[in-house]
Amino acid sequence: MLHGKRILLIIGGGIAAYKALDLIRRLQDQGASVRGILTKGGSEFITPLSVASLTGDKAYTDLFDLTDEAEMGHIRLSREADLVLVAPATADLMAKMANGLANDLASTALLATDKPVMLCPAMNVEMWDKPATQRNLKTLLSDGATVVPPGEGMLACGEMGAGRLAEVSDIVEAVIKHFGSETKPLSGQLFIVTAGPTHEDIDPVRYIANKSSGKQGYALAEALRDFGAKVTLVSGPTSLSVPEGVSFVAVRSARDMLSAVEAALPADAAICVAAVADYRVADQANQKLKKGQSDFSQLALIENPDILKTISQVGANRPTLVVGFAAETENVLENGQAKLARKGCDWIIANDVSLQTNVMGGDENSIIIIKKDTYKTFDKMTKKDVGNLLATHIKDCLIK
């Protein structure tokens, strides 16, 4: 989503500065290149060396460093960026910006830049609520800055309230949205995404299901939508809200899901994220089965249709790209590779769902993208970030 985008990240002096390191990685995952400026306070919380190691560039800290100014003047630094991102934006930095002060490298670059500025405030709740800070915020907004608002909760100082740096994934999303208005690389492409579990009814009140929350499939559908794709999201029962801007088809059983997917063809790509129940009961009862009168020890099961395999082998109507997921609890790579061959799809996204990973129902995932002859392993990240990462890979595959 951020391919070719240059981001100047200004890291202010607050405890949330440590999150800037993760932010650098997540922006890079989306294809952005990042340069870092640390304020004096910022350098108290994280070292310039960490920032330099992650960005693969110098960490810029000093306005009066002759070497810095000779190699890369503060004006050039502020101009050679597509976006200036301030995270964490402290009360002090915001006050300087609102008043046009320029007495260190960060504030000078902010005053000198001709590029959009995005602020991610983080501070103590009293500091955030103070009329002075709110006045400065208003000024900065009317000066054209955008703000990723701080979250509420327990702050590092032990107090409760607003002032916590926004989640890294929300900041990445705001940056993508900022650039999204410029480029929609998947405009006009039709996508089918399956998500959530399926429920296979035993009788009117009982069913067989699995633990899928639907979060990963929904996050991917949203990321593809943000890339401009026309997405049909075929979802089993979940507690998530229907994403805006996608065609949503609610289904219950594996057979309903297959029908809905077939009805949505033809498509450019089909991404099967759903955790489909492998089996359904052979004889679904119309009335509630009574304990004692029914033999629950002998519930006969029959195999469900395999949606991914069917779509992978659908002939002329086969989407250009068919992707499946493999939720595994052991030998993740090997099982994923075997699944790729068995299903006939183009890629398998394998992930470890063993209990200790907390992936099932959780907000994070770590994936391996498996293709015919290659694979790539990624660090743990939020399901939202996985959605954006996959959308980027899919875009690179479909748009030459």
Does 133 contact ligand C5P by CB under 6 A? no
Single-letter residue type at 182: E
At its nearest, how many Å lie between ligand C5P and the CB of residue 235? 12
Cβ nearer to ligand C5P, comparing 346 with 385: 346
At its nearest, how many Å lie between ligand C5P and the CB of residue 132? 53
User: By C-alpha distance, which of 144, 122, 146 is closest to 133?
Assistant: 122
Which residue matches tokens 């070497």? 67
Cβ nearer to ligand C5P, comparing 50 with 210: 210
In the stretch 238-277, what mask flags binding to ligand C5P with x, by CB under 6 A? Answer: ----------------x-----------------x-x-x-
Cβ nearer to ligand C5P, comparing 118 with 276: 276
CA torsion 98-100-105-106 (nearest 10°) is 20
Cβ nearer to ligand C5P, comparing 218 with 325: 325
Does 324 contact ligand C5P by CB under 6 A? yes
Helix intervals (H) in the chain: 17-29, 40-45, 48-55, 66-71, 74-79, 91-99, 105-112, 125-129, 131-142, 168-180, 215-226, 254-264, 307-312, 332-343, 383-398
Cβ nearer to ligand C5P, comparing 78 with 212: 212
Does 307 contact ligand C5P by CB under 6 A? yes
| From 120, 157, 272, 397, active-site residue | 157
Active site residue 397: no
Total residues at interface with ligand C5P (CB under 6 A) = 14
Cβ nearer to ligand C5P, comparing 264 with 326: 326
Does 213 contact ligand C5P by CB under 6 A? no
The only residue of 326, 332, 370, 394 in contact with ligand C5P, by rule CB under 6 A: 326
At its nearest, how many Å lie between ligand C5P and the CB of residue 255? 10
Say how far apart CA 72 and CA 76 lie, in whole Å: 6
The only residue of 83, 325, 385, 392 in contact with ligand C5P, by rule CB under 6 A: 325
The only residue of 82, 92, 173, 306 in contact with ligand C5P, by rule CB under 6 A: 306
Let me know: does 386 contact 219? Beta carbons within 8 Å: yes
Measure Cα distances from 385 to 27, 70, 240, 366 in Å. Answer: 10, 38, 18, 10
User: By C-alpha distance, which of 17, 393, 363, 391 is closest to 169?
Assistant: 363
Note the Cα 69 to chain centre separation in Å.
37
Instruction: Give 368's strand partners.
Output: 350, 377
Which residue matches tokens 């743990």? 380
At its nearest, how many Å lie between ligand C5P and the CB of residue 243? 18
Report helix angle 91-99 to 131-142, nearest 10.
50
Cβ nearer to ligand C5P, comparing 29 with 306: 306
At its nearest, how many Å lie between ligand C5P and the CB of residue 157? 45
Q: Quickly list DSSP for 245-312.
A: TSEEEE--SHHHHHHHHHHH-S-SEEEE--B--SEEESS--SSPPPTTTS-GGG--EEEPP-HHHHHH
Let me know: does 369 contact 378? Beta carbons within 8 Å: yes
The only residue of 30, 136, 189, 304 in contact with ligand C5P, by rule CB under 6 A: 304
At its nearest, how many Å lie between ligand C5P and the CB of residue 277? 7
Does 193 contact ligand C5P by CB under 6 A? no
Q: Which residues bind ligand C5P (CB under 6 A)?
A: 194, 254, 272, 274, 276, 278, 304, 306-308, 324-326, 339
What residues act catalytically?
A: 157
